[in-house]
């Protein structure tokens, strides 16, 4: 059963932390400039793969838009990355696809914590090496729900959220006012559109979020044309003059 929750209330108490879904990382100039492009894995301290990134070339063509991509339940970092890999080079999108600590994202099973801290570490690594001037967060299915939740929680960090077939948004606190792109198949049997996006989108709009919503004929999927429109929708996207 998908969870559908109203957005939380704006709150700026100093005790906010990963337990509230708050990320601590912030945009800054690289401290260890990197030159590696293409597929770049980020390996955890235990030797595992907490994230996979894709870095368009060349690095010196100007700042990237960083897009975090979150996989669905039981998925992998590669599956998250593949959501927008076909448009990354042409749209100069630095993709970051973390792997959830469990089979799905922490807030779905036990509450915020492990995945928020993991994402903070991954972002610190990427931002420490590459120039980034804007950030978005997106995902598919459970990853879309988590992207919406973290995006509304950290709207002072992300200027936009891409949610492909989400089930819910359940932030404990909200900050900022990110733009939101939501797509959903009218034949989705995993997260039925009537119980999910058709309820979620009006709630977000009543809370004054700028929402672009697309329904398509199909099931629990992300069609290629939806990905192209979503990438074109991203604000301030830079295409290098090469």
26 class by beta-carbon count within 10 Å (0-12 exposed, 13-18 middle, 19+ buried): exposed
Say yes or no to pLDDT of 41 above 70.
Answer: yes
**Residue pLDDT, tens place only, 180-235:** 999 999 999 999 999 999 999 999 999 999 999 999 999 999 999 999 999 999 98
Q: Above 90 in pLDDT, residue 1?
A: no
Q: What is the pLDDT of residues 168-185, one digit of tens each?
A: 999 999 999 999 999 999
Mean pLDDT of the chain: 90
**Range with the poorest average pLDDT among 92-96, 99-103, 141-145:** 99-103
For residue 220, which of 75, 52, 50, 53 has the smallest C-alpha distance? 75
Are 40 and 57 in contact by the 8 Å Cβ rule? The answer is no
> pTM of the prediction?
0.91
Arithmetic mean of pLDDT, 5-24: 70
Q: Spell out the SS3 assignment of 59-105.
A: HHHCCEEEEEEECCCCCCHHHHHCCCHHHHHHHCEEEEEECCCCCCC
Domains and CATH numbers, the chain: 16-233 (3.40.50.1820)
Tokens 């999910």 belong to residue: 196
pLDDT range class, residue 3, cuts 50, 70, 90: very low
Backbone phi, psi, residue 217, to 5°: -80, 110
Peptide bond just before 8 cis, omega within 30 deg: no
Predicted local distance difference test score (pLDDT) of residue 16: 84
């Amino acid at each position: 059963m998908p969870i559908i929750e109203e957005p939380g209330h704006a709150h700026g108490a100093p005790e906010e932390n990963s337990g509230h879904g708050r990320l601590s990382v912030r945009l800054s100039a690289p401290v260890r400039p990197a030159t590696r492009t293409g597929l770049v894995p980020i390996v955890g301290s235990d030797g595992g793969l907490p994230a996979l990134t894709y870095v368009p070339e060349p690095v010196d063509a100007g700042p990237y838009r960083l897009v975090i991509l979150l996989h669905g339940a039981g998925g992998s970092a590669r599956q998250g990355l593949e959501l927008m890999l076909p448009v990354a080079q042409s749209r100069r999108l630095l993709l970051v696809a973390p792997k959830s600590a469990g089979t799905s994202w922490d807030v779905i099973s036990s509450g915020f914590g492990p995945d928020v801290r993991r994402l903070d570490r991954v972002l610190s690594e990427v931002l420490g090496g590459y120039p980034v001037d804007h950030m978005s967060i997106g995902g598919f299915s459970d990853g879309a729900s988590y992207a919406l939740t973290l995006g509304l929680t950290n709207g002072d960090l992300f200027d936009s959220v891409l949610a492909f077939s989400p089930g819910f948004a359940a932030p404990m606190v909200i900050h900022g006012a990110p733009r939101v792109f939501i797509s959903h198949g009218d034949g989705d049997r995993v997260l039925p559109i009537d119980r999910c996006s058709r309820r979620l989108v009006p709630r977000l709009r009543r809370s004054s979020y700028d929402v672009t919503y697309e329904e398509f004929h199909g099931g629990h999927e992300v069609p290629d044309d939806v990905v192209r429109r979503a990438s074109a929708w991203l604000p301030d996207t830079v295409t290098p003059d090469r």
